[in-house]
Amino acid sequence: MTWSGSDIVVIAARRPVAVALQAVLHDWTVQGLVNPCRIVDLDSIVDGQPAIPAGVLEPDGSVRTVALQQDLAHTRVGRIRLAVVGVVDEDETAVAPRQAAAVLEAIRQTVPSVPIVQLNVSAGSPEAEWGGRALAVFGWHNLAISPEESVSPAQGSAALVRSLDDPRWLLLLTGTLCSLTGLWPGQANAPFDERQAPSGGLIVPVRAFSRSLSSGSVQDALATRLVSVHDRYPTPRVDSSYALSIDDEAASAVSMADQLLTKHVDVMPRVRHRTPPPAPQKVGAWEAIKQFVVFAGKALASAPRNAVDALNRSVSQATASAVQNAVFGGADSGFAVVVRGVRADGSSATWAEYEQSLDSVIRRAAQHGELEPVPQKPQLWHDFVDGGMTLLDAGSRSAELPPRTLGSQRAVITTTDRVGVDPSDAFMLPSNLAAFLPNWRIEAGDDIAVGRLFERLDHLAQTQPHLGQAVSAERNRLREWANRVRGSYSGHIGRRLGDAHRATIAEVQELTDLVDRLGAKPPAPEAIQQEQDELASHVRVMSAVSLSLIAIFVALTALSVLGWPWLILMVLLTVGAWAGVGAWLHMKSSAKVYAYLNKLRAATTELEDATRHRMEALEDLRRISRAYRQYLDWSRAFGAFIHAPLGQTTSSTERQLHVGQGMPLNLAVGVAVPDDEAVEDVANRWRGELFRIGWLSDAWRAFVTDLPASLGNLRHHLQQDPNLLGNDPAIDGVPVLTRWSTALADSVGTRRLPQATSQRIVELTRSDAEARDRLLSRVLVRDSSGRPQEVSRTSFIEGLDRAEMSGSFQPGMFNAAGGVVDIRSVRHTLAQEDATGLDVALVVVQLGGAYDPSKFAGAQRPPEEPQSLQSSSDSFI
């Protein structure tokens, strides 16, 4: 059966022993020597009180006092190892059956379905009262720890006596308990987890040897080498081979950036379309005569220039309508922010201030108070992140942004800064210039701010000549920094958007000047008015002559000089001559008028186009400004991510070597020393297993979902509404995207290695024995005199790595008259070599035969039935 949870170790003893064990285990736990456990003082149990007081030893050095039942009820428990420890030297340290029964029953009632490994451990000095004070209980592993020290089973051994002056006996007891209960780091199982207890109340002599090897520094070095991509990325694995490394990284980065903006061309400025000129109209003879007749009528009414005046008025009205409330500039502070991007004091305006100023300018130009929301482009930024990750891990994410290839093989950019710059790499002015140009901190990739700072530095050099040399040096430093950033994938996108932003501002200024110029047209020239007056005089003379002729013809007809047919013919000829000659004179005289009026109409159309184009340019500027600000936000988060996609490796708790002094020979603690060549070689071998094509996608999902606590309430809003980033509303005047990206960039140094990656490294460590042996080839230990020395791993575990190990126990705990010839012989040897990551525990436990307490030294206990404290979960033992 598989149990889900942790293995819990509970050590119970009488107060003198419990205090001593807790003191040693506390120090070892703090130093990382052993895993945490629980200590129960059996003398603190009060009859009638169900709670069992216990102390929980924490890795941070604290001791948490709890009721054992409540602590177990609030802990995910997979297995409990209970060790009841009695010392046979004194009655005050020997354990009574009822005390052991109380602890077992409390555990059994709290977690009845959890398997319990029951160890009844007796310890003492040679020739102590083993036979009379050692507790033997049915259903338990009744163990007697041999009071001896030895380097290995094959080596000789020496007896150890319990003494206040020599800590070795206590350390031997503590170390043996750690071996029996699985407290050494790396010890996945304990020797008695699956071992059946001997039948009857028999006691088994036991001794243990352990070599515990801490590898914190090696693990740190390996993890750092594996997951650190701050400067360079590994080539990911593609099936059975690896992706290639691109030689011309700059060209590939720029190409991917251009492909992104080609896919999302709608974010760039629109093409302006002019109103086509009207087709020229041909004036026929009949039309010319009609126009002349109309003109003649006005001329006879003494209003020859009314037509020109009317046209002038209509054009003036159109011009006034076009420029009304649309002319801005000069002292307009909002327009100054839009054009120059700086405040009145010369400091850089924030993007929130910039967008507010731009909105106010557009409202005045549009002659209405409400503006349509700026269209959001969430897919653009999704593709922005995908394109950058594809350059680094060769994953296929978008048909329009395919992985780079060299021939038929996928290829990647390995230089991290060529894809995105670390947001911490900001540009700041030195103090001597910052005093004149305050608040200038340029984020990596902010191409617009770079251009604005160049302008401010030029202005500063003109107004403060004594700073000329410092300004020149700073301009060179700014240029070098900006060029390095612009050569990256994200930096090139920022430059393209920045160029579009600057070009649109210049276009707005040009169109504003054009509107001002076209809106101030002069009235018709006086010469044209004079020509119209002269034409009117000719028309009046011609009309008078024609009327006179017609009157003469009528008089002649009345005198019968002419007949009626001749009268009609003469009148028609006169009127035709008047109309023909007048139309010819009118067309000839009005050519300049028509040319002027056509030019005026064209200027009106041009003014309307300029006004419309300026409005379009302002809308484009608003859209590009929003896109650029969002680019800065996404670039900030993406740059922080790609420089630490797997977070930061944690510093492991390294064991302190001063514990080596005074330790019994059975126990040895070592610290693995990193070998740079071995770490590099193993890291290179394992990268193919950790980094496969497209591996950044999972890391990015973990990055954006692991929201830092610094976001406050916004953290919960983002967790509830994943689309909030795409909508990018402003909360308290700050866009959500800006707050999110800033918080993620600031917290990147505290992000821990993802659990999946840590687990994968552990799996590789367990499966690759050759790599583990090589990484742990150098061990630092202290000898018995306390001197540190470096030894090989082979020397460190020497004597415990043999397939066959025998030996015999010291005679001090046995009854010489017991009648068992081979009572000192080792009957079973349990050898373990377990590892958790690179922490290795090598434990050898040797067991003797199972004997009645009468076979042990000291006065014998009166004959009685052994105690029965049988657990309901014995079937698991």
Torsion over CA of 21, 24, 30 and 32, rounded to 10 degrees? -100
SS3 573: helix
- pLDDT(349) > 80: no
Please name which of 62, 77, 4, 9 lies closest in space to residue 40, comparing C-alpha atoms.
9
Q: Grade residue 394 by pLDDT with cuts at 50, 70 and 90.
A: very high
Section 409-434 average pLDDT: 93
How far is 512 from 613, CA to CA, in rounded Å?
Answer: 10
Is residue 31 within 8 Å of 659, Cβ to Cβ?
A: yes
Q: Which residue in 619, 621, 617 sits closest to 501, CA to CA? A: 621
Instruction: Report the mean per-residue pLDDT for the chain.
Output: 82
Q: What is the mean pLDDT of residues 843-863?
A: 85
The count of C-alpha atoms lying within 13 angstroms of the C-alpha of 798, restricted to the half-sphere facing its C-beta, is 8
Query: How far is CA 247 from its chain centroid?
Result: 28
Q: pLDDT value at position 556?
A: 79
Instruction: Quote the pLDDT of residue 152.
Output: 87
| Per-residue pLDDT at 519 | 74
16 pLDDT more than 80: yes
Residue 550: pLDDT band (50, 70, 90) is confident
* pLDDT tens figures, 625-653: 999 999 999 999 999 999 999 887 765 54
Considering only residues 841 and 491, tell me which one the structure prediction assigns the higher pLDDT. 491
Q: Lowest-pLDDT range, 88-92, 110-114, 674-678?
A: 674-678
Query: What percentage of residues in the chain have a pLDDT greater than 90?
Result: 38
Please state the rounded mean pLDDT for residues 192-213: 88
**CA pair distance 790, 793, nearest whole angstrom:** 9
- Interatomic CA distance for residues 648 and 662, integer angstroms: 37
Q: What integer is the mean pLDDT of 696-717? A: 90
Under 8 Å CB-to-CB from 559, ≥6 apart: which residues? none
Determine the length of the chain.
877
Chain mean position to CA 556: 110
Give mean pLDDT, residues 718-746.
Answer: 89
Euclidean distance between CA atoms 352 and 490, whole angstroms? 22
CB 60 within 8 A of CB 116: no
CA distance readout (Å), 436 to 242, 338, 351, 462: 53, 22, 22, 13
**Residue ranges covered by each domain of the chain:** 6-210+798-867
Return the SS3 of 869. Answer: coil
- Report the chain's terminal Cα–Cα distance, integer Å: 12
Question: Tell me, what's the pLDDT at 2?
Answer: 34
Cα separation, 40 vs 70, in Å, equals 14
Distance (Å, rounded) from C-alpha 599 to C-alpha 635?
51
- The reported pLDDT for the residue numbered 105 is 94
Return the residue matching tokens 């947001």.
423
Q: Two tokens at 367? A: 């002659």
Residue 287: the pLDDT is: 57
What pLDDT band is residue 181 in, cutting at 50, 70 and 90? very high
Task: Give the span between the Cα atoms of 111 and 69, in whole angstroms.
Answer: 9
CA distance 864 to 110: 31
Tell me, what's the pLDDT at 328?
A: 44
- Dist CA 675 CA 694 (whole Å): 31
Write the DSSP symbol of residue 236. P
* % of the chain at pLDDT higher than 70: 81
pLDDT band at 327 (very low <50, low <70, confident <90, very high): very low
Helical spans, DSSP H, in 330-465: 333-340, 351-366, 378-393, 431-434, 447-463
- Low-confidence winner among 52-66, 133-147, 584-598, 714-728 (lowest mean pLDDT): 584-598
Q: What per-residue confidence (pLDDT) applies to 305?
A: 52
Cα angle value 24/29/35 (rounded, 5°): 120
Out of 307-316, 778-787, 851-860, pick the least confident. Answer: 307-316
> pLDDT class for 208, splitting at 50, 70, 90?
very high
Torsion-angle region of residue 230: left (phi > 0), alpha (psi -120 to 50) or beta? alpha
Tell me the pLDDT band of 867, cut-offs 50, 70 and 90: low
Please tell me the distance from the alpha carbon of residue 249 to that of residue 251, in angstroms, as a whole number: 6
Taking the C-alpha atoms of residue 772 and residue 777, their distance in angstroms, rounded to an integer, is 9
Q: What one-character-per-residue DSSP string does 733-788 give? A: TEEHHHHHHHHHHHHGGGPBPPHHHHHHHHHHHHH-HHHHHHHT-EEEEE-TTS-E
Q: In the predicted model, what is the mean pLDDT of residues 480-498?
A: 94
Average pLDDT over residues 203-213: 90
**Residue 318: pLDDT above 50?**
no
684 pLDDT higher than 80: yes
According to the model, what pLDDT value does residue 509 have? 87
Element (H, E) at 496: helix 489-518
> Is the model's pLDDT at 324 over the cut of 50?
no
- At 656, is the secondary structure helix, strand, or coil? coil
Q: Compute the average pLDDT of residues 448-452.
A: 92
Q: 715, 722, 723: which is closest to 739 by C-alpha?
A: 715
pLDDT in the model for residue 872: 37
- DSSP assignment of 799-846 equals TSS-S----B--GGGB-TTS--TTTTB--EEEEEEEEETTEEEEEEEE
| Dist. CA 534–CA 589, nearest whole Å | 9
User: How many CB atoms neighbour CB 876 within 10 A?
Assistant: 16
User: Model confidence at 344, in pLDDT bands (50, 70, 90)?
Assistant: low
Average pLDDT over residues 248-260: 95
